[in-house]
Structure formats: structure tokens, C-alpha cells
Amino acid sequence: MRCDVLTLFPRMISSALDESILKRARDKGLLDVRVTDIRDFTANKRRTADDSPYGGGAGMVLKAEPIVKAVDFIREEEKDLRIILLSPQGRRYDQTTAHELSREERRIVFLCGHYEGIDERVKIILSPEEISIGDYVLTGGELAALVVIDSAVRLIPGVVGDSSSIEEESFNSILDYPHYTRPSEFRGVQVPPVLVSGDHENIRRWRRRQALLNTVRKRPDLLSGEILTEEDRELLEEIKEEESL
């Protein structure tokens, strides 16, 4: 996965890239991220990248010129780019999009907005796709860009050591099941006996049931788009009967 992050605060990105899964992916050559300070493409000595909005109003707006110039600079090296603007106005980011980005062959350019937003001419000139990680407001797009990069890169084969953990984890539409580790008892709470029974089929069925139960209780909306097996339907019937008691 190859990408550029255009930001006013490069250290927010670079510090995260030196930790955990992202560092491992970079060390293996599976993630190539270049962090660009938008101020490097400003036109004055003060490196001013924002200004007050035309028409008045509170806050500051990121200027179009440095952002467009930064993208032009990247295009001198590579013409075919996928430009993504992290924006609350964008389509909702999900696991399907994460899988798509993990297989993207083009260089991805993430534009991180800040303050009250960016000059609309950035969208008119660059035509970026807009992605939102949720219906809430962040100070800027940096954290959103890191969320997208992290969720996508961990799906690349070889990034996470145990590939089966990727296949089983949350947001393949059904929420995850509860996890336990040693000790077997902590402050009076025991690990469910089935998990130490050694019966792998019962463990598998228990985990699927718990995953469905979690989804029914916390995110029932996810079940509407999920293709359920016959076993899932049986387990859901059991859950519904118990939940109605």
C-alpha cells in the first residue's frame, strides 16, 4: 500500500507510523507512507496555509493553493493517483472500503482538512472522493487518515502474523465474540467452561452464538445485511426466545 498524507501537522502522522502494526508493515516493505507538510507549498515567508473565510464567519479556512500545489508535486512523479479527502460530508467508511483500499494499486493521497474546512476549489480542481469515519467532528483529518490507513494495511497479507485472526475478527458484519485469557478466575469471574473443555466444535458454536448475541444486543442493524447460515438462524431463534424471557 503506497500513500501520501498531506497535513498541517506531520508529526501527528509520523509518530503513529513508528508504532505497532504500522511500523511492522513499513519494516516489511508492505506500507509506504510519505508525510507532506502543506506549509511547504505556501507562497509567503510566514508559511501561511489558512485565511479567514469570504463572506465572514468564525474560524479559518485552509487555502486551496498549497494543497493543489502539493498534489501537483506528487503527480510529477506519479500521474495516476487516488485522492481521498477525509471529511464529515463523505461516504461512511466501512470494512468493505478497507478491503478495497488494501488492494489499491494506485498511490493514495490523503488530504487532511483542519479548522473550519478547506477552500471549495480544492474539490473542484482535484475531484477527490470524500470519506467519513463517523458522524462526529474531529479537529482535523489526521486521526481519520490514520484510522483508514491502519484498518486497510492490516488486511494486506503478511502484515498481521496470524492471517486467521483477520478472517475471524469484528466487522465482517457480525460483531466479535468475547475473548478470555489467563488466569481462569479473576475477582470471582470465571472463564466460561466451554473454552477450557477442549471440545473445538462446541467452542466454535459457542463463539458464533456469542457473536450473534453481541450483534442482537448492540448492533441489530448489522444483521439486516448479513447472509446467515442455517445454524445462524437456529442460534438466533434460541437467542430471541431467551431475550424475550
Looking at residue 172, its pLDDT comes to: 57
- Which CATH number do you get for residue 75? 3.40.1280.10
Confidence of residue 114 (pLDDT cuts 50, 70, 90): confident
Are residues 136 and 182 both part of a single domain? no
Confidence of residue 168 (pLDDT cuts 50, 70, 90): low
CB atoms within 10 A of CB 138: 16
Give me the amino acid identity at 115: Y
pLDDT in tens, 208-239: 999 999 999 998 988 887 789 999 999 999 99
- Which CATH number do you get for residue 202? 1.10.1270.20
Q: Is the pLDDT of residue 162 over 80?
A: no
Are residues 147 and 187 both part of a single domain? no
Looking at residue 237, its pLDDT comes to: 95
Whether residue 160 is contained in a domain is answered as: no
Are residues 86 and 9 both part of a single domain? yes
Are residues 148 and 181 both part of a single domain? no
User: Cα angle vertex 224, ends 219, 225, to 5°?
Assistant: 105
Are residues 138 and 78 both part of a single domain? yes
**For range 4-13, the mean pLDDT:** 97
Which of 134-148, 151-165, 196-210, 231-245 comes out lowest in average pLDDT?
A: 151-165
Q: Are the C-beta atoms of residues 141 and 112 closer than 8 Å to each other?
A: yes
Domain carrying residue 207: 170-243
Q: Are the C-beta atoms of residues 142 and 169 closer than 8 Å to each other?
A: no
Q: Are the C-beta atoms of residues 28 and 159 closer than 8 Å to each other?
A: yes
Looking at residue 105, its pLDDT comes to: 97
Q: For cell 466444535, what's the residue?
A: 201
CB atoms within 10 A of CB 37: 17
Instruction: Work out the mean pLDDT of the chain and round it to a whole number.
Output: 93
pLDDT in tens, 174-187: 888 999 999 999 99
Are residues 116 and 174 both part of a single domain? no
Global pTM reads 0.85
Total count of domains within the chain:
2
Whether residue 165 is contained in a domain is answered as: no
**For range 5-11, the mean pLDDT:** 97
Percent of the chain at pLDDT > 90 equals 82
CB atoms within 10 A of CB 53: 15
| DSSP assigned state of 19 | S
**For range 86-102, the mean pLDDT:** 95
Mention every residue, 6+ apart, whose C-beta is less than 8 A from residue 90: 129, 130, 131, 132
CB atoms within 10 A of CB 167: 8
Q: Is the pLDDT of residue 89 over 50?
A: yes
Q: Are the C-beta atoms of residues 154 and 21 closer than 8 Å to each other?
A: yes
Whole-number Cα distances in Å, 184 to 154, 176, 193, 202, 205 = 30, 20, 9, 18, 21
Looking at residue 170, its pLDDT comes to: 46
